[in-house]
Structure 1
Amino acid sequence: MDRILGIARKELLHVRRDAVLPRLIVLLPVVMLLLFGYALNTNVKDIRLGVVDLARDRVSDRILRNYAAEDRFELRPYPTREAALEAARAGTVRAILEIPAGALAAARAQQPVPYTVFVDGSDPTFAAQVRAASAAATQDSLAALGAVRAATGTLSVPVRPTLETLYNPDNRSAVYMVPGLSGLILTLICVMLTALAIVRERETGTIEALIATPVRPHEVILGKLLPYFAFGALDAALVLTIGHWLFGVPLAGSVGLLTLAALLFVLGNLGLGILISTVAGTQPQAMFATIAIIVPSIFLSGFLLPLEGLNRFFAGLSYGVPLRYYLQAVRGIMLRGTDAHQLQLPLTGLAVFAIITLTLASLRFRKTL
């Protein structure tokens, strides 16, 4: 027992002498708890709803007001169904409400007032919430138009919504989850591979031989990056190909755009890993830093929970999460067939992420012990 306690004391002293690790052990769980406690929210509001109102009368106005009530939907008008569908394909709106002409005339003629709700089914969980919010708005419309039914004495339903699911009519969860898992897997592998690169050499002492060479810092970074970039590109191809062929995830868009998005994401994560390795002094520090980056990314990227459920602070914070842009690009390309023009924001975000991480890693690396 004395020998065991002696080893335990040695390990405790080792942790205490580490300048960063004790802070990570104490602060990381607290930060994670506060982050997830405030960020996790499964109740979405302000759902971006494209509106095609061809009736433009009192009945359609009442229906739209019920949809906008209690911050359920954020209404965005479009002149035609085609324009609204194009916005849904680009991800600008998540659902579409189309009210045909003659709504008021149908109500006066004691006939049901039809309208159609198109739901983006690429996220089955989010689509279910859209349907629930639409059903609540329909019930409010029924109550508001009940006077017409009472006056006419008819038992016909005053509104008759039709729900149609876009992009994932079978509501298969794999269609939504597999592209997200590809991003999570690439983040985990790429960041962890390179996060230990320089730290491992520093701990084993092999970095001394590297310092003695005439190689410049940015050349060291790029040289360490190239083999891992090849491994990351291979992993990206494997994950996306298996997801397409084995799990039946559609590929509605361009293979070239999908490849570009994946390679930019791989490059940025490799740069992030190398940046971590230049900051961390030990391998445990590098591992903790990797976890501190990956775990919040899961909840602030739209991987598990819709971004519409985040409050304003965390919604703004999510724009600094590269996984968000990757998921927007990959899900848009594979599920909705989004083109390059509609992917300007996520592709630009991935490119900026790669440039920043590689630049900072080159500036942080010093050829000194």
Structure 2
Amino acid sequence: MSGLSAVRIWAVLVKEFKQLTRDRLTYAMILALPIVQLILFGYAINTEPRHLPTAVLVQEDSVLARSTLAAMTNSGFFDIERTARTPAELDALIRRGEVQFGVTIPGDFTRRVARGDRPQILVEADATDPSATGGAAAALAALPAHALAHDLKGALAQRGLSQAPFEVVVHRRYNPAAVTAYNIVPGLLGVILSMTLVMMTALSVTREAERGTMESLLATPVEPIEVMIGKLAPYVLVGLAQTVIVLTLARLLFGVPMAGGWIGLTLGVSLFIVGSLALGFLISTVARSQLQAMQMSVFYILPSILLSGFMFPFHGMPAWAQAIGQVIPVTHFLRIVRGALLKGLEAHEMWRELTALAAFVCVVTALAMARYRRTLD
């Protein structure tokens, strides 16, 4: 047995580099994945979200009320985007997740401040994600001490030195104890279904193409849609079984509340399972090997975990990251699951998310069929 040869090692090295550059998709994934990770973790992820969407119900349009809202905005945690006209409208905005906070200023706010009665301002927080509201709720503790500093004059100013002119009452809705598991465990359903269904389908179909069994299937008079339904139907049952297992364990092990909304949840789960399987089928029509199928699946799953609101607060991300997150189906699925389990939202209250998932299913299925039909041709 001869010793090491630098020439032979160099020859193998050159051959491997040529093979790598010949597989352009794998080469692109190797270069793109670290860039995507760097951008997402460096720019998009924020563990202390600011500029959270806020709605206000101002029952008294006065200088003191406006100063209080201005102080909240200047804190950097609240962006007043909506103005409610009734308590029911404010409740609906928070319930549907359109705003993170709802602020109610009572109608006798100025009069009670002048009398030294220390009126209360109610701040309702959507606490389904405790990490999204923790910093903002803490900032509210300092609000009464300085919000009206420039408005209170004379005796009112002297009184304000001894005690705050008003109080802020924070009501954490849907998760008052700030239990992290109530947010993470329901969200895991979307991540688990994405990881298993997309990757399993992509690898399964690509494996058949590598083994040559797909060629035999292509030689039959089976239509593309028939092939797709036949291959994906077993995995639909797998996805439904996973859903039942996750929800059962979420209740038994973590005590996740089951507030209701079962019709909307069932529709959301069904659409998400079908869409994930169709996406896996689409990936399999593009990938030429199981390695490529796995790489493309990971390239989809990584942003789904980071930009969907599963690990980090959605409203804490910059606008461009939120725009990308709105395109990711996991984002809408997580809102459906958390909305149904924690808030008891009905199907008609989640129509935006259900419509987004339905559009995802239609687009991905059409693309998969078009790609598969070209393969047949």
TM-score range, shorter chain: over 0.9
1:68 is aligned to 73
Give the drift of 1:19.
3.0
1:333 is aligned to 340
CA distance 1:289–1:152, change in 2 (3 Å): closer
Once residues 238 and 228 of structure 1 are traced to their aligned partners in structure 2, the CA distance between those partners, rounded to angstroms, is: 15
CA distance 1:280–1:2, change in 2 (3 Å): farther
Does residue 111 in structure 1 map to residue 125 in structure 2?
A: no
Letter in 2 for 1:126: A
Which runs of 5 or more residues in structure 1 are unaligned?
none
Give the drift of 1:223.
1.3
Letter in 1 for 2:63: R
Which runs of 5 or more residues in structure 2 are unaligned?
none
Does residue 26 in structure 1 map to residue 5 in structure 2?
A: no
CA distance 1:160–1:2, change in 2 (3 Å): same
Once residues 276 and 79 of structure 1 are traced to their aligned partners in structure 2, the CA distance between those partners, rounded to angstroms, is: 48
Once residues 281 and 61 of structure 1 are traced to their aligned partners in structure 2, the CA distance between those partners, rounded to angstroms, is: 62
1:237 is aligned to 244
Q: Within 5 Å, which residues of 2 pair with 1:209-228?
A: 209-228=216-235
1:60-119 Cα deviation digits (max 9, x unpaired): 221112122255323222233233122211112221212222221122223323212111
Does residue 197 in structure 1 map to residue 204 in structure 2?
A: yes
CA contact 2:68–2:148 (8 Å) conserved in 1: no
Letter in 2 for 1:237: V
Correspondent of 2:171 among 164, 173, 185:
164
Q: Within 5 Å, which residues of 2 pair with 1:308-319?
A: 308-319=315-326
2:89 is aligned to 83
Give the drift of 1:142.
5.1
Letter in 2 for 1:27: A
Give the drift of 1:330.
0.9
Once residues 69 and 375 of structure 2 are traced to their aligned partners in structure 1, the CA distance between those partners, rounded to angstroms, is: 64
Letter in 1 for 2:209: R
Once residues 361 and 142 of structure 2 are traced to their aligned partners in structure 1, the CA distance between those partners, rounded to angstroms, is: 44
Once residues 282 and 133 of structure 1 are traced to their aligned partners in structure 2, the CA distance between those partners, rounded to angstroms, is: 53
Q: Within 5 Å, which residues of 2 pair with 1:341-352?
A: 341-352=348-359
User: Number of paired residues?
Assistant: 369
CA contact 1:243–1:249 (8 Å) conserved in 2: yes
Correspondent of 1:124 among 108, 123, 130:
130
2:43 is aligned to 38
Decide which moves more: 84-93 or 152-161: 152-161
1:320 is aligned to 327
What is the TM-score when the length of structure 2 is the normalising length? 0.90
CA distance 1:228–1:2, change in 2 (3 Å): farther
What is the TM-score when the length of structure 1 is the normalising length? 0.92
CA contact 1:111–1:156 (8 Å) conserved in 2: no
Give the drift of 1:156.
2.7
Letter in 1 for 2:221: P
Letter in 2 for 1:269: S
Give the drift of 1:16.
4.0
Once residues 176 and 31 of structure 1 are traced to their aligned partners in structure 2, the CA distance between those partners, rounded to angstroms, is: 26
2:195 is aligned to 188
Decide which moves more: 8-17 or 215-224: 8-17
SS at 1:246 equivalent: helix
CA distance 1:44–1:137, change in 2 (3 Å): farther
1:97 is aligned to 103
CA contact 2:236–2:273 (8 Å) conserved in 1: yes
1:154-208 Cα deviation digits (max 9, x unpaired): 6232121111111111110000001111110110001011111221111111112
Once residues 18 and 277 of structure 2 are traced to their aligned partners in structure 1, the CA distance between those partners, rounded to angstroms, is: 33
Decide which moves more: 238-247 or 331-340: 238-247
CA contact 1:258–1:333 (8 Å) conserved in 2: yes
SS at 1:196 equivalent: helix
What is the root-mean-square deviation in Å for CA atoms of aligned residues? Answer: 2.3
CA contact 2:275–2:357 (8 Å) conserved in 1: yes
1:284 is aligned to 291
Decide which moves more: 281-290 or 90-99: 90-99
CA contact 2:75–2:139 (8 Å) conserved in 1: no
Letter in 1 for 2:112: A
Give the drift of 1:216.
1.5
Quick one: percent identity of the two aligned structures?
36
Correspondent of 2:257 among 250, 269, 291:
250
CA distance 1:224–1:7, change in 2 (3 Å): farther
1:295-319 Cα deviation digits (max 9, x unpaired): 0111211111122122222221111
Give the drift of 1:27.
2.5
1:143-164 Cα deviation digits (max 9, x unpaired): 3456454345862321211111
